[in-house]
Amino acid sequence: MTARERVAGTVANYVDERTGAAKWMRKNLQKVFPDHWSFMLGEIALYSFVILLLSGTFLSFWFDPSMQHVKYEGSYQPLKDVEMSAAYASALHISFDVRGGLLMRQIHHWAALIFMAAIVVHLMRVFFTGAFRKPREFNWILGIALLTLGIVEGFLGYSLPDDLLSGTGVRIAHAIIQSIPVVGTYLSFFAFGGAFPGYVFIPRIYIVHVLLIPGIFLALITVHLMLVWYQKHTQYPGPGRTEKNVVGYPLMPVYMAKAGGFFFIVFGITAFLGAVASINPIWLYGPYTPGQISAGSQPDWYMGWLDGLVRMAPPLETYLFGYTVSWNILLPGLIIPGIIFTGMALYPFIESWMTGDKREHHILDRPRNVPNRTALGVMSLTFMIVALINGGNDLIATHFDLTINQIMWFSRIGIIVLPPLAFVITKRICLSLQRADREAVLHGKETGRLVMLPHGEYIEIHEELSPEKKFALTQHEQPKAIALVTEDNQGVLNPKGIRAKLQARFSAANAENIAKPTASEVKELESGKH
């Protein structure tokens, strides 16, 4: 036994005598994780969160969340002696008079953009592969909560510097609060401590941004990861992979090295962006004042869809009994986002109801094999993308020489017409891909080699797939439609009535697939071909 082993042994013994962790530790160090590039997306979100905590802590050492007026006396000459809030002045101080301050500010902002992007792409991976199915519905809901919180946290974060751009964003948030029927005016006066902009909003959102939401984040992320750990990761289909096993690499040492290394890579790339790519140059915008604005005002990308919806809303207000309801703000600002996020959170339960499938699933779906879900996902994305495009309508207009009106009308019509169209097209593409899979399994893949037969006929050589590949393409289940029972054999009407009818319709649509090859079909072709 070497000296080092003796020391390690003593420490381990000390800890284990007090915690009894040996068995648990051993088991978890051998924990198996399946390997796939798409499983890194959630990791990127997690690592960005750590980067945000680190860089945010650094910024908090200098940032002064106060709206008191000060005269700027830092080293950035163009704003010398300009009156501004202490918050803006301290953000300038971090940018120009703290070494590494600008770098950390840019890393913080880039990390926030990457955080949100990673969450969204991770969500898409989970959705399109059906990873949210039983038993992982709770984790899906936690994920939606994290996404929602992330949007709020990001918005509060870029509102803090109190520059002209972010102040404009706060002005819009204020208008959304104020538009809420009955209580809106009161809520806005409570939130802002009086009329807009007041003196308390920045200090208040500061504590929410640096303490409240990060605390909730930390708790939710912990549960999110514990559930992944406890339920074991899903895996893609393939030979040797079943619903009852996990095939992959052990945590120690492979995953520790890969995941640990990946953290440094994500941090390194974020630092690189912070070093070379300017982001949110607040000194160019100047301090916030409600009487001014800069053209081309844009929120961060994850708010763009919301701004796009607000921009395309019809100019609708109703006045009833002396009270005003601003549909032009309520609809795009609260009602539609509310429907979208609630629908997303409930989707696992909706799908399980539509298909009648209540079993556990650990093998992921290939998106083409579930055409309805895939089409629904692409439909929702299309909606979001049209909204996002309209959020940048002023920039698109200037860059592509269009008028704002053209883009606005494209969006207003497109947001209604394009999503259903995307649904139909996606479903057709999925079915075509299923057909291609079937062809490949039965007749092999095309090689591009043409051969002339003795009697002059040309044929293309098809190469037979390996048994592994054939299995991977055919291992999935094809659901059957739920038969509609209108009345039982005594003639009693089904008490579920319309719900049963709806479920039958949905499950029939869901069962629309190209029949996958069966073992006997494959055998028949194999014996006949050679």
Partner 1 sequence: MSRELEPLADPGLPEHVHRKADTDPIAAKRAERQVAVLFSLSGAGTLLFIYSFFFISEETFIFVPIMGTTNAHQLGIGIGMAASLLFIGFGAVHWAKTLMPDQEVIAYRHEMKSEEQDRQDLVATAKEGAAIAGLGRRPLIKRTLAAAAGLAGLPAIILLRDLGPLPGNALNETNWATGTRLVTDPGDRPIKPSDLEVGGVAQVMPALAPGKKRSLEDIAKDAVLLIRIRPSEFQLDPERLSWTHEGIIAFSKICSHMGCAVALYEQTTKHLLCPCHQSTFDVTRAAKVIFGPSARPLPQLAITVDSEGYLIAKQPFSEAVGPSFWERKS
Q: Is 459 left (phi over 0), alpha (psi -120 to 50) or beta?
A: beta
| Minimum distance from residue 481 beta carbon to partner 1 (Å) | 14
What three-state secondary structure class fits 325?
Answer: strand
Nearest to 297, CA basis, from 197, 401, 198, 165: 165
- Residue 279: CB partners within 8 Å, gap ≥ 6? 106, 109, 110, 113, 273
| Minimum distance from residue 456 beta carbon to partner 1 (Å) | 36
Query: Which C-beta is closer to partner 1: that of 16 or that of 477?
Result: 477
Query: Which C-beta is closer to partner 1: that of 185 or that of 222?
Result: 185
- Cβ(220)–Cβ(142) below 8 Å: yes
Burial classification of residue 241, based on how many CB atoms lie within 10 Å of its CB (0-12 exposed, 13-18 middle, 19 or more buried): buried
Query: Which C-beta is closer to partner 1: that of 178 or that of 280?
Result: 178
Cα–Cα distance, 66 to 161 (Å, whole number): 10
DSSP-derived pairing of the beta strands 323-326 and 317-320: antiparallel
Query: Which C-beta is closer to partner 1: that of 9 or that of 467?
Result: 467
Nearest to 259, CA basis, from 424, 4, 50: 50
Query: Which C-beta is closer to partner 1: that of 148 or that of 297?
Result: 297
Q: Which residues pair with 320 in a beta bridge?
A: 323
| Minimum distance from residue 245 beta carbon to partner 1 (Å) | 5
Cα–Cα distance, 187 to 192 (Å, whole number): 9
Query: Which C-beta is closer to partner 1: that of 171 or that of 462?
Result: 171
Cα–Cα distance, 183 to 187 (Å, whole number): 6
Query: Which C-beta is closer to partner 1: that of 140 or that of 423?
Result: 140
| Minimum distance from residue 264 beta carbon to partner 1 (Å) | 3
How many CB atoms within 10 Å of residue 521? 14
Query: Which C-beta is closer to partner 1: that of 70 or that of 325?
Result: 325
| Minimum distance from residue 131 beta carbon to partner 1 (Å) | 15
DSSP-derived pairing of the beta strands 83-85 and 69-71: antiparallel
| Minimum distance from residue 70 beta carbon to partner 1 (Å) | 14
Structure tokens at 338: 């509310």
Query: Which C-beta is closer to partner 1: that of 260 or that of 420?
Result: 260
**DSSP structure string for 452-494:** E-TTS-EEEEEEPPPHHHHHHHH-S----PPPP-SB-TT-PBP
DSSP-derived pairing of the beta strands 445-452 and 323-326: unpaired
| Minimum distance from residue 192 beta carbon to partner 1 (Å) | 6
What are residue 341's phi and psi, to 5 degrees?
A: -75, -35
Please report the beta strands in 251-373, taking only residues with DSSP state E, as ranges in sequence order: 317-320, 323-326
| Minimum distance from residue 15 beta carbon to partner 1 (Å) | 25
| Minimum distance from residue 244 beta carbon to partner 1 (Å) | 6
| Minimum distance from residue 455 beta carbon to partner 1 (Å) | 34
Query: Which C-beta is closer to partner 1: that of 469 or that of 505?
Result: 469
Q: Measured over all CA atoms, what is the biggest interatomic distance in the chain, rounded to whole angstroms?
A: 94
Query: Which C-beta is closer to partner 1: that of 216 or that of 429?
Result: 216
Cα–Cα distance, 294 to 277 (Å, whole number): 21
Structure tokens at 314: 């019809």
What three-state secondary structure class fits 450?
Answer: strand
C-alpha separations of 297 from 164, 216, 285 in Å = 9, 30, 10
- Cβ(412)–Cβ(312) below 8 Å: yes
What are residue 313's phi and psi, to 5 degrees?
A: -60, 145
| Minimum distance from residue 18 beta carbon to partner 1 (Å) | 29
| Minimum distance from residue 227 beta carbon to partner 1 (Å) | 10
